[in-house]
Structure 1
Amino acid sequence: MSVDAILLAGGRGTRVGGAIKPLFEVNGSTLLASAVGAVRAGGAERAVVAAPVLAEGLDVRWVREDPPFGGPVAAIVAALEEVDADEVYVVACDLPTVDAAVALLSDPLPADADGACLDDGRPQWLIGRYRTAALRAVASTLPDRGRDASMRALLGRLTVLPVAVDPALTHDVDTWDDLRRARGGAMTEPRTLPPEALNEWSAALAERFGLAEGDIPISLVLDLARDVANGVARPAAPLSAFVAGLVAGRAGGSPADTEAAVAAVVEMARGWQDR
């Protein structure tokens, strides 16, 4: 059974101020180079990187969704055109533990499955292995070549087996704090945005609008945005954050009201594709 790989490396890096996360170095190698090495070790004959050319000398093929920044589904749809193998790894290039993660997916898929992905309590679809034909079949039904589509729209109809893992194995580099932890506390990457920038912005908003310290739950809002982007579509994330705030305000505006509103929106998002 032949296998190729699609590596996703073309995101905006919004939470690190636009820095190029796949080029962050962890343990002496960039996250991108580590991902290439991991899928090669896992048997991938061809590695297709969905991103602008980020590094010369890598034995990969570069592709780009059109227009750029269309989200992971659009990137996968574009990269599938370069895949020849029966099965394909799909891996985001922001995972410090990529070697161990991909090793868990190195066996060919069982006959009754369309794919397998790591599951740390939630399916981690961007650390997975899938049947190429199954991905192409669903991709062909998506409007706009998958632009701004959720991963659930691409994979929700497929039989994807969960591979249970500890959450530590799937902890990606999404923020500067994540990068610091991945490096064992060391930070040598030049910062285009300091890690406390959101705290400073939050404090400025609170001062401007007369809010109390702690009234703006940054982590809660960012987690909501992530879940909605994955379950519905990326443009739905800011809209959903606004609605959650509106609902919480009308309920009284307490921290408990905010948590309840966010939980309700997240529950809707997680079940959106199954409606």
Structure 2
Amino acid sequence: MATTPGPATTALITCGGTSRRLGGRDKTREPLGASTVLDHLLAALPAGWPVLCVGEERATCRPVSWAREDPPGGGPVAALAAGLRQVSTPTCVVVAGDMPFAGAAATDLAAALARSPEDDAVVGTDRDGRVQPLLAAYRTEALRTALPDDPAGARLMAVLDRLRRTTLELPDPGTLDVDTPEALARARHIVGA
């Protein structure tokens, strides 16, 4: 009897931080149209992907699993370490939870990694060439191996430096992160709110 293979990719969403530039508020909970920044992202991710959010648990528009970084607020590398403990798929697409329009980019990154068997990661860049390690597709085991023993407060770029990687330029507004009042206003303008 044939079995149906499970999904190949998990979406790992970091949503545990606050933003000093946004008054210390949780960016992912900010209203965006009829939902929130996080829900806008979650709704745009492929329906067949399991989703794991790292942060304070809350109600979302689709079923997700939750993990919490140690310590809470310990930074993106601590969030990756906490999330990767629950990822069982061969690849994961990491997306910052404050990137409400990154759903299509996540799909493009996963497809690019599938076409690049020699790479551990395909990392998104914005149109100015800035590398976005929290908008990238990773081979799960390679990312686990690249993490430091003590991930709290570790530099994310140091993790990236331990991986064989290529980049993929992503179109606007896929790389828009809502970390300032101006960026939040732009996101609201995009959705007509």
TM-score by length of 1: 0.61
> CA 1:59–1:169 in 2, change beyond 3 Å: closer, same or farther?
closer
Measured at CA, do residues 187 and 174 of structure 1 come closer, stay the same or move farther in structure 2, by a change above 3 Å?
farther
| Distance in 1 separating the partners of 2:162 and 2:110 | 23
Match of residue 180, structure 1, among 172, 181, 185: 185
Map of 1:113 onto structure 2? 119
- 1:1-275 aligned at under 5 Å gives the runs 2-41=8-47, 43-44=48-49, 46-55=50-59, 58-107=62-111, 108-109=113-114, 110-120=116-126, 121-139=129-147, 142-144=148-150, 146-166=151-171, 168-184=173-189
Q: Percent identity over the alignment?
A: 36
Which amino acid in 1 is paired with 2:124? L
Give the aligned residue type for 2:63. Answer: D
The residue type paired with residue 83 of structure 1 is: V
Distance between the aligned counterparts of 1:186 and 1:60, measured in 2?
Answer: 24
1:156–1:88 distance in 2 versus 1, CA, 3 Å: same
Which amino acid counterpart does residue 65 of structure 1 have in structure 2?
E
Deviation at 1:162, TM superposition (A): 0.5
Given that residues 6 and 89 in structure 1 are in contact (C-alpha distance below 8 angstroms), is that contact kept between their aligned partners in structure 2?
yes
In the TM superposition, residue 102 of structure 1 has moved relative to its aligned partner by 1.8
Corresponding residue number in structure 2 for 1:250 = none
Greater helix content: 1
**In 2, Cα distance between equivalents of 1:187 and 1:33:** 16
Using the TM superposition, give the Cα deviation of residue 186 of structure 1 relative to its aligned residue in structure 2, in angstroms. Answer: 9.7
Deviations 1:160-212 (A, max 9, x none): 21001346431211111211111119998xxxxxxxxxxxxxxxxxxxxxxxx
**Structure 2: segments with no counterpart, 5+ residues:** 1-6
Query: Residue 103 of structure 1: CA displacement?
Result: 3.0
Verify the 8 A CA contact 2:69 2:79 in the aligned structure 1: yes
- 1:29 is displaced (CA, Å) by 2.8
Q: Which digits, 9 at most, give the CA deviation of each residue in 1:202-229, with x for residues without a partner?
A: xxxxxxxxxxxxxxxxxxxxxxxxxxxx
CA deviation string 1:230-275 (max 9, x = no partner): xxxxxxxxxxxxxxxxxxxxxxxxxxxxxxxxxxxxxxxxxxxxxx
Q: Supply the AA of the counterpart residue of 2:81.
A: V
Deviation at 1:150, TM superposition (A): 1.1
Letter in 2 for 1:175: T
Structure number with bigger Rg: 1
Q: Structure 2 CA distance, aligned partners of 1:12 and 1:166?
A: 26
Q: Structure 1 counterpart of 2:54, which letter?
A: A
Distance between the aligned counterparts of 1:33 and 1:168, measured in 2? 16
Equivalent-residue separation in structure 1 for 2:176 and 2:32 (angstroms): 13
Superposed CA deviations along residues 83-140 of structure 1, whole A, max 9, x for unmatched, are: 000000100011132223223224152211101121121211111110001011112x
How many residue pairs end up in the alignment? 183
| Structure 2 letter corresponding to 1:169 | G
> If each structure's strand is expressed as a fraction of its own residues, which one has the higher value?
2
Cα separation, partners in 2 of 1:133 and 1:63, compared to 1, 3 Å: same
Deviation at 1:20, TM superposition (A): 1.8
Deviation at 1:7, TM superposition (A): 0.3
Partner in structure 2 of residue 235 of structure 1: none
> How large is the RMSD of aligned CA atoms in angstroms?
2.3
- Taking structure 2 as the reference length, the TM-score comes to 0.85
In 2, the alpha carbon distance for the partners of 1:173 and 1:113 equals 29
User: Which deviates more from structure 2 when the two are superposed, residues 54-63 or residues 155-164?
Assistant: 54-63
